[in-house]
Structure formats: C-alpha cells, structure tokens
Amino acid sequence: MLFSLNNVTKTYGKITALRQLTVKTPAGAVGLLGPNGAGKTTLIRTLLGLITIDAGGGEVLGLDVHKQRMLIRQSVGFAPEDECLFPGLAGIDFVAYAGELCGMSRGDGMQRAHEVLNYVGLGEARYRPVESYSTGMKQRLKLASAIVHDPKLLILDEPTNGMDPGGRQEILDLASDLAHNKGMSLLFSSHLLPDVEAVCDHILVLARGRLLAQGKISELKLSHEQSFEVRVKTDAARFAGLLAEKGCRVEPREERLIVRLPSGTSTDLLWEMAVSAGEQIRFLRPQQSTLEEVFLKAVEAGDEAFRA
C-alpha cells in the first residue's frame, strides 16, 4: 500500500480543496490526473505531511498523516512544478545541500550527490552555478535533489515543463526506470496524458476534491471486441463506403477509420476488401480508448453527478 486516505477534507476559507476523499493506492507508478482546481496540489501537500487536514485521516508508506509528518518527509521526495533554486550554489553543492536538509551528513550528502547527478546525466555542468542552467538542466537538477536521500516515494509535479522533446524523453525514461526497475514508487502529476501513459501503470482521476476514477491503465482502456482502427493508403472515404456495403459500421476519425465488424466476421474481411478495392492496409489495430478518452469521460461523468 503506497498511501491511503480516509474521508479527508481540507478547506481554505470558502474553497473546499478536498471533499471527503477516500483513496487507497498500491505501490508502483501512479499517475495523478485532474482538471485545474481539482485538488491535486492539496493532495500532494497532504501526502507530504505539509498541511493540517480538517477532517479524516490517512497514512503514507505506513506513517500516519497527522502524527508522523516529519518522518513522512524523510521518505518522500518532491520535485515541485515551478522553478525553485537555492540561490548562489553550484549544481553539486545544491544537491548535497538538499540531501543535508533531509538529515544526511555532509560527507554522505556530497558522495550521494555525485552519484545521483551521474544518474540524471548532469556531467561537468555540476560545477557551474545553477543560475546559468538551461531549463532541461534545471529539471534534471530538481529530480536529482528529490532522489538524493533515496526516498521510497517520489512525487513529480509536471516534470517535463518547458523541455524539448529530447529532454522530455530522457526525464520520462529516468522516471520509468526508477519506478519499474529500482523499486521506487512514483506519483506523477501531469496534464500531458501521453507522458503519464508512458510511465505509469495506475492512475487516479480527481475533480472538485473527489476521486472520480482509479485503476490500472490497461484495465481502464477498454478494448472493443469487434472494433478496429484502420488506415488505408489512398482513399479512405471510398473504402469506408465499400465496407458499409458489407454491413460494417464505419466512422472516420482524422485519417483513420473506426470499423465495427458485424458479428461472425473477422479481420479477414478487411484484407479481402482491401485487395478487391486495390488498397493497401497500412494500419490495423483493435480499437482501444486512449487515456485522454478515459479521462474526459470520467470528468464529464463527474460533472454530471455534481450537477445532479
């Protein structure tokens, strides 16, 4: 069990950030999704033991959220979303200081900082002052200072903000490696759903302070039995027409077609039709909802429930 919260409520004046939230999450790579204002930041702060919740209780890594807040922070690493720096330090001193603030001794902190900077790929740049770093390097530095004390849970809030595609892929690879190969649990909060899909196995969807959906990504993305996504070489519309004649239900989506085969047929039908139409099939996969669809559906369902 990574963390579990029980009927947690937190209000800031008139705004209710978390509303009787109850959630149990297994260890592993967990994605945290939700529209703006859903309470994701408040949830993260609760998990860090940073705020006093008004009602309810919970535990993180087996430590009580009310009574063991300092201990929680010793086992949790956090890379915040906005730009944060300790001023006036070189990269290596920065990460060593971050470790010392968690309780490491100076020697341990320095040794571990070098190790961790090697892992995130910051080479000679570690001896330069952090104010001179590019965005990609700052994100890596943030990640390094979050894992320097070897936490059991790593919380990443929009870690790929502002990074170019190459850098983004590297950060995602690092996060995935830590979560899957090194036994560190991960809570990944992001608006970029393909990033979450690439790294996480399990997701939580929050909206208006409540939990809307949770589960394994592979289970939430339903597969439809007789539904396939098809792309042909030249004329999709003509192909669609021909398929419709054979009793399929066809729906165009961008340059592909969503084909629902009639019962009793299989994909053989598609190949035969392609040859007879003089087309090539260039893409054929069973239709699976994307994570974006899962998310949007959950949010819409939540909105309706709220209005009702």
Partner 1 sequence: MPIFDQGYQHWRGPLSGHGRRWLTIMLQGVRVQLTRIWLRRMLYLSLIPALVFIGFMSVWGLVEQRSEGALALIRNFLPSSLLMDPRAQRAMIWTIAFSYFFKIQMYFIMILVAVAGPGLISSDLRFNALPLYFSRPLNRVDYFVGKLGVIGALVGAVAVVPALLAYVLGLAFSLDFGVVKDTWQILLGSIGYGLLITISAGALMLAMSSLSRRSLYVGVSWAGLWIITGWVGTVLEITFREGLTHNIYHAEMSRWLAANPAPVGVQAPSPYERPSRRRLNFARVGPMRPNEEGTKWLENWLKAAKEADIKAREKESEALQSDWRPLFSYVSNLERISDSLLNTDAAWEKIGKAFAVAQGKTDDGDEPTDGRRFAEMMVPQYPWQWSGGVLGGLLGLSICILTLRVKSLDRLK
Partner 2 sequence: MHLDLASEVARSVEVTPVIAFEGVSKWYGNVIGLNKLTLRIPPGVTGLLGPNGAGKSTLLQLATGQLMPSQGTVRVLGQQTWNNPSLMRNIGLCPEQDAFWEWMTGLDFIRTCARLSGMGRRQATAAAEKAMHVVGMTENMNRAVGGYSKGMRQRTKLAQALVHVPPVLFLDEPFTGTDPVARRDLIEVIRGLGSAGHSVLVSSHVLHEVQALTQNIVLLHRGRLVAEGNVRQIRDLIDRHPHRIVLVCDDYRSLAAEVVAWDDVEGVKVVSRNGAPTPEALRSEAASDRLPDAPSASLKSNGREGSILVETRWPDEFYGKLTTLVAKGGARVREVYSEDDNLEAVFKYLVSK
Binding site for partner 2 (CB under 8 A): 33-37, 134-136, 161-168, 191-194, 233, 255, 267-268, 271-272, 274-275, 279-286, 292, 295-296, 299
Q: How far is the CB of 122 from partner 1 (least distance, A)?
A: 14
Q: Which is nearer to partner 2, 73 or 168 (CB)?
A: 168
Check: CB of residue 290 under 8 Å from CB of residue 221: yes
- The phi and psi torsions of 254 (rounded to 5 degrees) equal 55, -120
The CA dihedral of 214, 217, 222, 225, to the nearest 10 degrees, is -150
CA dihedral (209, 211, 212, 214) positive or negative: positive
Q: From the list partner 1, partner 2, none, pick the one residue 279 interacts with, judged by a Cβ distance below 5 to 8 Å according to partner type.
A: partner 2
Q: Which is nearer to partner 1, 181 or 263 (CB)?
A: 181
Q: From the list partner 1, partner 2, none, pick the one residue 268 interacts with, judged by a Cβ distance below 5 to 8 Å according to partner type.
A: partner 2
Give dist(CA 302, CA 212) in Å, integer. Answer: 6
Burial of 176 (0-12, 13-18, 19+ CB in 10 A): middle
Q: How far is the CB of 233 from partner 2 (least distance, A)?
A: 7
Could you give the 3-state DSSP secondary structure of residue 104? coil
- Residues β-bridged to residue 300: none
Q: From the list partner 1, partner 2, none, pick the one residue 162 interacts with, judged by a Cβ distance below 5 to 8 Å according to partner type.
A: partner 2
Q: How far is the CB of 213 from partner 1 (least distance, A)?
A: 28
| Site track for partner 1 across 222-261, x = CB under 8 A | ----------------------------------------
Give dist(CA 293, CA 229) in Å, integer. Answer: 15
Q: Which residue of 1, 50, 237, 305 would you call a contact of partner 1, by CB under 8 A?
A: 50
138 in contact with partner 1 (CB under 8 A): no
Beta strands in 221-291 (DSSP E): 223-232, 249-253, 256-260, 281-288
15 in contact with partner 1 (CB under 8 A): no
* Measured CA distances, 209 to 20, 43, 146, 193 (Å): 8, 9, 26, 20
* Measured CA distances, 240 to 218, 250, 288 (Å): 29, 6, 20
189 in contact with partner 1 (CB under 8 A): no
Q: Which is nearer to partner 1, 18 or 205 (CB)?
A: 18
Residues 64-123 binding partner 1 (CB under 8 A) are 70-71, 73-74, 78, 80, 82-89, 97-98, 100-105, 108, 112, 115-116, 118-119
* Measured CA distances, 233 to 37, 239, 256, 302 (Å): 44, 10, 10, 40
Residues that bind partner 1 (CB under 8 A): 12, 45, 48, 50-52, 70-71, 73-74, 78, 80, 82-89, 97-98, 100-105, 108, 112, 115-116, 118-119, 131, 145, 147, 149-150, 177-178, 181-183
